[in-house]
Structure 1
Amino acid sequence: MQWFDCLDGMFHNLIHMELIFDCTYHSQRFKWGWLIKLLQNSPKLQTMIIEEYDDTIHNYADQEWKDPEFVPECFLSHLTTCSLRNYTSANCRMQFAKYIMQINSRVLSTMTIQIAKSVKSSTKIQMCKELSLCPTNSATCKLLFI
């Protein structure tokens, strides 16, 4: 049993969610599983804002991202706005952004990526290019970099 399995309540009326992750090395390993469980329990979520508080955590949990077995219902029918703030080029973070944009988010209209100030210019360009080339399932999805 994972520690995030205790998150068993449903948030049927949650339509706007803002999360700030200030993770240590040890809790960073569990962040993705907890987040997916929260999303699965928030079927009507329309707006999701996630901020990485400490951009000094680089690639601690790169190997931890795995596409979930079931796509959260909110991705399939309600999530229209997603904002990822203070983002770095860590592989797990890029995989999560792609997961949202690709076939999983049918009604996504705006995906905003705010790249962390600590990221080198050349890396920022590579991130923008990689995410811009990512196919989306939503015909109306606009990708914004700020």
Structure 2
Amino acid sequence: MLTICSQTMLDEGFVFNQLEHLDLCLCPSLFPGQLVRLLKASPKLKRLDIFLTDHHSPRVMDEWNQPSTVPECLLSSLQSLWSEYTGEPKEREIVVYILKHAVHLETARIKSSSESAVQKFEMLKELSRSSRASTTCEFVGDGL
């Protein structure tokens, strides 16, 4: 298991050949690029946990540019996604991308950080309706 903050800058050459569980702190200003780098560097990743910490306040997220190729772990090994979800559109695009490409995903557990029960329900309902590569993926959201 590796726990890392997305503010930690990794060179393109890093490879985590045996990494199966990644805990990634969501630092919105750097998150999208680092997530792609870490997914590409972790071909055997089975579990991805994305979380917020108190000392990182949500800010505007950097641009999300879908990778030109799907990271190997999404096609071959990722089984579990757990993510805190603020509802920002770019963040939704990232979660939808993972759901759309993770062929072996068994569980997607999404926790909304919205204070409003109605907003939380609507965000999670929208995510639960997004297409998934895995026909057996169970979507679990708080507020549903």
Does 2:123 align with 1:124?
no
Whichever residue aligns with residue 48 of structure 1, its letter is L
Distance in 2 (CA, whole Å) between partners of 1:18 and 1:53 is 12
Deviation of 1:124 (Å): 0.7
Asked if the contact 1:4–1:37 (Cα under 8 Å) also holds between the matched residues in 2, the reply is no
**SS across alignment from 2:23:** strand
* Equivalent position of 2:93 in the other structure: 95
Aligned counterpart for 2:18 among listed residues 7, 13, 16: 13
* Equivalent position of 2:51 in the other structure: 51
* Equivalent position of 1:84 in the other structure: 83
Deviations 1:9-36 (A, max 9, x none): 2100001111223x3xxxx333211110
Distance in 2 (CA, whole Å) between partners of 1:119 and 1:7 is 37
Asked if the contact 2:107–2:139 (Cα under 8 Å) also holds between the matched residues in 1, the reply is yes
Instruction: Let me know the Cα RMSD of the aligned residues.
Output: 1.9
Gaps of 5+ in 1: none
* Equivalent position of 1:73 in the other structure: 72
- % identical equivalent positions: 31
Q: Which has the higher contact order (CA 8 A, sep 6+)?
A: 1
Whichever structure has more helix as a proportion of its residues is: 1
TM (normalized to structure 1)?
Answer: 0.83
Distance in 2 (CA, whole Å) between partners of 1:96 and 1:119 is 22
Deviation of 1:5 (Å): 6.5
Aligned counterpart for 2:132 among listed residues 131, 136, 143: 136
Whichever residue aligns with residue 57 of structure 1, its letter is P
Deviation of 1:71 (Å): 0.7
Asked if the contact 1:76–1:107 (Cα under 8 Å) also holds between the matched residues in 2, the reply is yes
Q: Structure 2 vs 1, CA of residues 20 and 5 (structure 1 numbering), >3 Å: closer, same or farther?
A: closer
Distance in 1 (CA, whole Å) between partners of 2:68 and 2:124 is 28
**SS across alignment from 1:134:** coil
Gaps of 5+ in 2: 1-7
